[in-house]
Amino acid sequence: MMIAAVVLLYIGRSFFGIFSAAPETTPAMRVTVNDSFTADGWFVRDEITIKGGGESVKHIVYSGERVQKNAPLAVVYGDDEALELSRQLDPLDDRISQLDTALQTANDSSDTAKIDQQITLAIQNLAAETKEGSGSVLTSSSASLRTLSLRRAADQLDSASIRAERDSLSAQRDSLQQSLSGRTAELKAPCSGYFSEIVDGFEDTLKPASLSGLTVARFRELTSKAPETRHSSSTLGKMVQGFSWYLACEIPAEQAERLQIGQELKVNFTQASLTSPVTVYAVNWEHDDDTALLVLEGTDFNSGMVSMRQQPVEIIIASYTGLSVPKSALRVEEWTDSNGEKHKDTGVFILSGSVRKFKVINKLYETDDSYIVEQSATDSDMLVEQDQVIVRGTDLKDNTVVKT
């Protein structure tokens, strides 16, 4: 029995040596990690509400568009009948414009190959502008594409029939315009800025002038009521003045300690898939409180951003790009220089073929279970992408062969 036990022990140690000699590895992958935290952000802007909304109103501009002072925003009709007459005018105006373009291009002998190229480019621009969602720009681009299409077919147009149709439609338009005379009024922009159709009632309470001294308690009070209970149907929309916007967030005190006025950050609007550069405008915080009020200032406007009020955000203090290394892979190697002085290097072992090699690393950022380390493209003594990092192994020594 004793002999059998010794034999079993020997076999077990042999198998253990075989399996322990094969180290566990993971590839060094290139990643980008944000040093960030999340918060609930509230837009604060200099906004003016525009009275005169209702069912008998037709918008001329769209949410997110920038307009000049006194520019027409909408047409107000005296009654539903007047609004219906105006809706009949729109297709007439559009068709007359098409016919005018056709008459101008009836004798156009432009190079068709060149026009085809212009049409292709116009379609590409129209697709890009559709993604942006600017109504006025889309209208202009559509008209340009229509003109090019008519120029392309100029040799097939009958000028006489086009002119007859145009005269008939023009007479219909004049009759409708006469019926509308005195039954419409224009609503104009009270200032230069960005127009938004969304009015939530916070326009008069969340003002930039109050941000410097705004406390957490007062901020909670101002934002406690739901926006839909504040909405008024008697408004056309609002104008957002200036070139800056502000974002107010209640944040933990430990995050407030990391920030200072003027510091440059980035804010990621997670629901809108939009990232914008910002600077710290104010950090209102009593040092014995658990939370602080952070105010960020931004200048990059987006057509969708103008109508936002409350948004979940990721506040990015810094971003780090490098190679991800598990914490379990870190090793400290001691060595002695020619003067007899001892040194310690922090790094990882990699498996190159069947050889274990030690590579020194430079830490950039620490996560819960890994380090982001500096990446090298050419230096063989530093970690490079796809190096097989040893996360578990025995008898780890530099430039040694793995026993099999």
Q: What is the pLDDT of residues 297-329, one digit of tens each?
A: 999 888 788 889 999 999 999 999 999 999 888
pLDDT mean over 270-280: 92
Per-residue pLDDT band at 130 (split at 50, 70, 90)? low
Which residues span the domain enclosing 144? 79-187
Show the DSSP H helices in 181-285 as ranges: 216-222, 253-256
Residue 160 neighbours by CB under 8 Å, 6+ apart? none
98 and 180 together in one domain: yes
Domain count, the chain: 3
43 and 29 together in one domain: no
Residue among 149, 167, 153 at smallest CA distance from 107:
153
Per-residue pLDDT band at 19 (split at 50, 70, 90)? very low
For the whole prediction, is pTM greater than 0.75?
A: no
201 and 183 together in one domain: no
The answer to whether 197 and 63 are in contact (CB under 8 A) is: yes
396 within some domain: yes
166 and 139 together in one domain: yes
Mean pLDDT is highest, among 63-67, 148-152, 390-394, 397-401, for: 63-67
Q: What is the pLDDT of residues 161-217, one digit of tens each?
A: 778 888 888 888 888 878 777 778 888 999 999 999 888 889 988 999 889 889 999
Mean of pLDDT over the chain: 81
133 and 199 together in one domain: no
56 within some domain: no
383 within some domain: yes
The residue from 290, 320, 350 where one domain ends is 320
What would the two tokens of residue 229 be? 């209970």
Mean pLDDT is highest, among 114-118, 265-269, 270-274, 398-402, for: 265-269
Per-residue pLDDT band at 18 (split at 50, 70, 90)? very low
The residue from 320, 338, 372 where one domain ends is 320
- pLDDT at residue number 82: 80
Beta strand 29-44 with 310-326 is antiparallel
Dist. CA 355–CA 349, nearest whole Å? 10
86 and 46 together in one domain: no
pLDDT tops 50 at residue 69:
yes
pLDDT tops 90 at residue 361:
no
328 and 354 together in one domain: yes
